[in-house]
Amino acid sequence: MAFPQSFLDELIARNDIVDVVSSYVQLQRKGGNLFGLCPFHSEKTGSFSVSPDKQIYYCFGCKKGGGVVNFIMDIENLPFPDAVRFLAKRAGMEVPEEEGDREAGRRRQRLLDLNRDAARFYYQLLQQPEGRAVREYLDRRQIKKATAVKFGMGASPDAWDVLLTAMTKKGYTKSELLQAGLVVQNKNGGLYDKFRNRLMLPVIDTRGDVVAFGSRVLDKSEPKYMNSSETPVYSKRRVLYGLNLAKKTKRPNIILCEGNLDIVTLHQAGFDNAVASMGTALTVEQTRLLSRFTKELVLCYDNDNAGKIATERALQILNGSEFSVKVLQLPRRRTADGELVKQDADDFIKNQGPDAFERLLNGSENGVEFRMSQVAGKYDFTSDESRVAYCEEISNLLASLPGAVEREIYTVRAAETAGTSPDAMKLEVQRAFKRRVAKEKRAELRKDLNPAAQLQPRERALRYENIRSARAEEGVLRLLTLDESVFPPESPLREEQFSSPLLGKAYSLLWQAKCEGRSPTVSCLTGHLSGEEIAHITAICQQPESAQNAAQALADYIRIIQAEADKRAGGAAIDPLLAAVEKNKDKKGTGGKH
C-alpha cells in the first residue's frame, strides 16, 4: 500500500466526511443521514446521502459511493495518491509517501510544471519581436493587451523546435515533452514542436494549474484550431476554458459557448461569466463541475446546424437537472451582398456591442421554448398534414416535461402555434404522457420479472457467477460493518470460499481491520479497491440489515456460503468454524429467525 494505514486512519479521522462534502454540496438532515443534490449527475430531487456515523456517501440515483477519499477522487478528478495529498493539505498533515508513489506524484507535478513553464515561454515570446505576427492578429481581433495578459496568451514561433530546445535547457526530458503533448514525434523518431506560428491560449483549471493549451492559426491554413491531446494531467471532458476566471463572477449565471476566442471577447466586454468546452459537446463531467459554481446556465452556441445540434444535446443532458437553463440564439448577420450568415458571440459583440448582447441575454429563451421553436421550424402550418405531424411531435416533447403545470402552460402555447384548440392539444399530450408512462412501466415489469438481473451489480466486470452465494456474502459484509461483535474471535470464512472475488477481498480487508483493532468500515477499503468496487461495497452496506437478529442471520449466511463453496470444491466438509458462530449466537441470546 502506498501510505501507512495509521496515516490513512488519521487522515480520514481529521477529514470528517460531512465537513468535506458540505464544501461542495448543500446538505440537509433527514433522520440520521444528510441529503442533497448529487454533484455527480443531474437531478432535481436530492438522492445523494451522507452518513456521519458510517463516514460514507452514496447516491441512490447514479450509485456512486465510498468514503471521504473516494469523494475527493471523484469531485476533483484526482488519482488516489493526489486525493490523499489534497486531504492531507486540508488537514495540515505531512504526507509519509513511499518511493513508488512519491515518484508518481513527482511525475504528475513535473508535467504541470512543464505546462506552466511552456505557458510562460509562449507569453514572453508574445512580447518579443518573434511575437509580432500574433500581436498584429490580436489587434485585428480587437483583443486588448490587458485581456491577453488576463488570459495568459502567448505566441508560438514559426519554427520547428524552439519550445523543445528551451524546455530541454530547463531540464525537462524529451519523454516529458511528449507526455505533455507539447512535441510530436515523426516517423523517423525525431521530435518537433506541436504548436507553431499560432496564438497560444493556456487552459487553466479551477485549481490554477496549466493543464493544456488551445491555439489558433494566424492565417487561413488548417487546422484553424488545435488543442492539446489528452494527457495524464488533462481530460477535455472534465475541463472548461475560462472557468478559472468565471467562477469568480458576480453575475447569477454562467454562459456556455463553443470557441475560446468567444470567451475572450465576452470577458473583455464585461461578461466575465463565459466559459467554453474544449473541442467537445457538453459532458456530464462538465455539468458536475459547473454545479459547484452556479445553478443557472445560458447556452450560447453558434446559430448553425452544428450549433443547434450541440444545443439540443446539452438540453438532453440537462433535462431534469437542478440547473435552470436558458438558450441565447444569436441572430444571423446580413452581409454586404445581402446574404444571411451565422455569427458567433465574438462577431456579435464586435458588430452590435455589449449592450445588444446584454439585451439578448436578458431575453434568452428557456430550454423548453427553444426546443419547441426548433420543432415548429420543421413544419409548414398552411398544410393540414404538417399541422397534424407537428401536433404529434410536439405532444411527445411536452409529455417528457416532469411537471403537470409546466406541461399545461406549454401545451396552450403549442396549440396557438398549431392553430388548434387547447383542449385538443391537451388530449394529445395526455395520450403521449400515458404512452410514456406505460412504456416505463413495461420496462420496470420486465426488470421485475428478471430478479436475477436485479440482484447483479450494474458494472459488468463485477457481475456475480453465483447469485445465491453472493447475496449471502453481501449479508456478511453488511453485518461486519454493522455489528462486528456477532463474529467469533477467529474468522468464520476464508476469502477463497467467497464466490465473488471482490466480496472475498473486501471481507479479508475488513476482517484485517477488525483484528488490528480498527473499526471495519468502508473507509478501510480505501486504496485497495477501485472507485467502482468501493461504490458497489458502499451500495451493499447501505441496504437494510436487522441488527436484532444479526447472530442468526450471520449463521444462515455462512451456511449458504460454505454449502456453495463445497459444491464448487466437490463436497468438502463444512468449515468447523461455523460451530464457533453458533456458539457466539447462543451467547448473544438473540433467538428468532432472520
C-alpha cell at 473: 456474502
Are residues 227 and 114 part of one domain?
A: yes
Q: Could you tell me if 429 and 551 lie in one domain?
A: no
Q: Is residue 511 part of a domain?
A: yes
Give per-residue pLDDT as tens, 302-321.
888 888 888 889 988 887 77
* Residue found under cell 485549481: 207
Report the distance separating Cα 543 and Cα 355, nearest Å.
55
Residue 453 falls inside a structural domain: no
The CA distance from 372 to 412, in Å, is 12
Q: Show which of 448, 480, 501 is a domain's final residue.
A: 448
Same domain, 568 and 509: yes
Domain extent for 386: 377-448
Within 8 A by CB and 6+ apart from 269, the residues are 349, 354, 357
The reported pLDDT for the residue numbered 571 is 55
Distances (CA, A) of 436 to 372, 389, 396: 19, 18, 8
Residue 257 within any structural domain of the chain: yes
Q: Which residues of the chain fall short of a pLDDT of 50?
A: 1, 451-453, 572-574, 590-594
Residue 546 dihedral angles phi and psi, to the nearest 5°: -75, 120
Do 109 and 220 share a domain, yes or no? yes
Number of domains the chain is built from? 5
**560 lies in the same domain as 483:** yes
580-584 LR contacts (CB < 8 Å, sep 24+): 580/488, 580/489, 580/490, 580/492, 581/487, 581/488, 581/492, 581/551, 581/554, 581/555, 582/555, 583/488, 584/486, 584/487, 584/488, 584/551
Identity (one letter) of the amino acid at 289? L
Dihedral in degrees, nearest 10, Cα atoms 300, 305, 310, 315? 80
Does any domain span residue 82? yes
| pTM for the full predicted model | 0.70
Among candidate residues 242, 234, 229, the one with its CA nearest the CA of residue 152: 242
Residue 145 grid cell: 493587451
Do 297 and 230 belong to one domain?
Answer: no
Q: Are residues 436 and 559 in the same domain?
A: no
d(CA 286, CA 254): 12
Q: Which amino acid is at 196?
A: R
CA 533/CA 88 separation, integer angstroms: 24
**How far apart, in Å, are the Cα atoms of 454 and each of 41, 425, 444, 449, 461?**
22, 39, 11, 9, 16
Do 326 and 298 meet the contact criterion of CB atoms below 8 Å apart? Answer: yes
What's the sign of the alpha-carbon dihedral 140, 141, 142, 143? negative
Strands (E), 264-395: 274-277, 296-299, 324-327, 333-334, 340-341, 365-366
pLDDT of residue 97: 65
Is residue 370 domain-resident?
Answer: no
Q: Indicate if 395 and 339 belong to the same structural domain.
A: no
Examine residue 143 and state whether it is found in any structural domain, yes or no.
Answer: yes
Out of 448, 483, 499, a domain closes at 448
Residues 584 and 558 in one domain: yes
Identify the CATH number of the domain in which residue 50 sits: 3.90.580.10
CB contact set of 138 (below 8 Å; sequence gap of 6+) = 145, 148, 153, 199
Statement to judge: residues 222 and 271 lie in one domain = no
Residue 486 shares a structural domain with residue 409: no
Q: Are both 228 and 262 inside the same structural domain?
A: no
How many Cα atoms are found within 13 Å in the side-chain-facing hemisphere of 264? 26
CA dihedral 112, 113, 119, 123 (to 10 degrees): 160
What the block records as the C-alpha cell of 234 is 488533462
pLDDT, tens digit (0-9, with 9 covering 90-100), for 406-416: 899 999 999 99
Contacts of 201 (CB under 8 A, 6+ apart): 151, 153, 213, 214, 215, 216, 241, 260, 264
Residue 106 falls within a domain, yes or no?
yes
* Domain membership flag for residue 593: no
Give me the pLDDT at residue 335, please: 74
- Which domain-ending residue is among 209, 234, 259? 234
